């Protein structure tokens, strides 16, 4: 099953449970985000954000940034870029912050852009990045965005 099918199947279950995902006709703001990043969104995140609109929503142990294209503080158009120091590091390392921990921690939840390959959902230690440490620690929260959504839908 490809990323699009997996995302669609999981989101369908989440919609049945009353979660606020709505089908999109178009998401022109995604191209703007990709232009700003300088690389395409990770395949699974692109599949989710090009297909569904949603406010900031809790999925498992994270809160996904909103995907409404309304340029609000919690929207994917703004939230990943709010901290210029973190944003610069993520761009240099082909990662995008797309969520935050439900715990309220400032540590960013990210995906790496690697073409058509799904990548792990990682939680980064923001202090390692801000203090320009040589070794930046991350923890894998899920093997992929698809798996994160599948667990939430289970």
Closest to 98 (Cα-Cα) out of 123, 118, 115, 117: 123
pLDDT at 2: 85
In tens, the pLDDT along 10-29 reads 999 999 999 999 999 999 99
Q: Which domains does the chain show, CATH number per domain? A: 3-153 (3.40.1580.10)
* Positions of the chain with pLDDT lower than 50, given as ranges: none
pLDDT at 119: 87
pLDDT at 136: 86
3-state secondary structure of 18: coil
Rounded distance between C-alpha atoms, residue 87 and residue 37, angstroms: 9
pLDDT at 1: 64
Q: What are the tokens at 33?
A: 């985000």
Residue 75 makes CB contacts below 8 A (sequence gap 6+) with 65, 66, 67, 68, 69
Q: What are the tokens at 123?
A: 């939680």
């Amino acid at each position: 099953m490809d990323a699009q099918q997996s995302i669609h199947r999981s989101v369908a279950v989440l919609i049945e449970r009353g979660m606020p995902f709505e089908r999109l006709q178009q998401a022109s703001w995604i191209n703007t985000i990709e232009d700003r990043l300088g690389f395409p969104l990770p395949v699974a995140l692109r599949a989710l954000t090009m297909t569904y609109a949603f406010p900031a929503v809790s999925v498992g142990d994270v809160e996904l940034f909103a995907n409404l294209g309304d340029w609000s503080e919690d929207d994917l158009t703004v939230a990943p870029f709010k901290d210029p120091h973190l944003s610069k590091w993520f761009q240099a390392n082909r990662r995008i912050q797309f969520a935050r921990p439900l715990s309220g921690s400032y540590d960013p939840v990210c995906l790496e852009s690697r073409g058509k390959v799904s990548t792990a959902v990682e939680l980064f230690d923001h202090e390692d990045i801000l203090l320009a440490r040589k070794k930046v620690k991350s923890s894998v929260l899920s093997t992929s965005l698809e798996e994160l959504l599948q667990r939430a839908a289970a």
